[in-house]
Amino acid sequence: MRLSCATSAITEQAAPDDERFRHLVDQAPFMLWASGPDTLCTFFNRPWLEFRGRSMEQEVGNGWLEGVHPEDRQRWLETYQRAFEARQAFFLEFRLRRADGQYRWIRGSGITQYTREGRFQGYIGSCVEIPEPQRALPPNPLTAREVQVLALVADGKSTKEIAALLNISYKTADSHRSRIMEKLGVHETASLVRYAVRQGIVGA
């Protein structure tokens, strides 16, 4: 956030070491993280750990913040804290240190997660690397959830599969897809895929 039952697993309070949880989110086409109600990160999927070249133990809590560029760290913390306190989704572009020591621009987003009883559980978020030329593109008009839906559309998932993977109804998934097309002014899946690639939401 493939984002694969990650949302459902977190909502059901699956432990990060749950094999089903790990297997599903490790197949996501993007880096994915989760945090608890105390703001601290509790899980990172395999694409994240491979990008960072670090272990889960090193990244959880606030360990991953060591990899955020010093010039971007405070901005990230302030954005996250504001969203956390307001229980709102957020977007942010920042630089994250890759396993080879280079800082790469990342487009990150996070959305709130709740139990079936409505108890706040924290956030689940996705991150994608932004190719340098794409940093000059106009701001993405999509919401955090729409970006996640678009990433799955671009990955070849059907509306039915997206609904199952994001633990939402078919009607809601279809509505997200329709709004994405309306916002982007496109009418076919191929155009959605091209947009997702240009924006760095998925790889080419």
Is the per-residue pLDDT at 12 higher than 90? no
What's the pTM value of the predicted model, to 2 decimals? 0.60
Q: Considering the domain boundaries, does residue 153 fall inside one? A: yes
CB-based contacts of 164, cutoff 8 Å, min separation 6? 5
Closest to 113 measured CA to CA, from 3, 4, 13, 26: 13
Backbone φ and ψ of 25, nearest 5°:
-75, -25
Q: Considering the domain boundaries, does residue 203 fall inside one? A: no
Is the per-residue pLDDT at 5 higher than 70? no
Q: Considering the domain boundaries, does residue 148 fall inside one? A: yes
pLDDT at 81: 92
The better pLDDT of the pair 24, 70 is held by: 70
Segment 84-123, tens digit of pLDDT: 999 999 988 999 999 999 999 999 999 998 888 899 999 9
| Confidence label for 134 from pLDDT (cuts 50, 70 and 90) | low
What's the average model confidence in pLDDT over 30-42?
Answer: 93
CA distance 111 to 151: 15
Q: Considering the domain boundaries, does residue 88 fall inside one? A: yes
What's the average model confidence in pLDDT over 143-162?
Answer: 88
Is the per-residue pLDDT at 31 higher than 60? yes
What's the chain's average pLDDT? Answer: 83
pLDDT at 13: 41
Residue 42 is part of which domain span? 6-198
What's the average model confidence in pLDDT over 155-166?
Answer: 89
Q: Considering the domain boundaries, does residue 17 fall inside one? A: yes
Is the per-residue pLDDT at 202 higher than 50? yes
| Confidence label for 29 from pLDDT (cuts 50, 70 and 90) | confident
CA angle centred on 199, ends 195 and 203, rounded to 5°: 90
CB-based contacts of 115, cutoff 8 Å, min separation 6? 11, 13, 121
Segment 176-197, tens digit of pLDDT: 999 999 888 888 888 888 888 8
What's the average model confidence in pLDDT over 149-155?
Answer: 89
- What's the CATH code of the domain at 161? 3.30.450.20
Q: Considering the domain boundaries, does residue 1 fall inside one? A: no
| Structural domain count, the chain | 1
Q: Considering the domain boundaries, does residue 126 fall inside one? A: yes
pLDDT at 200: 74
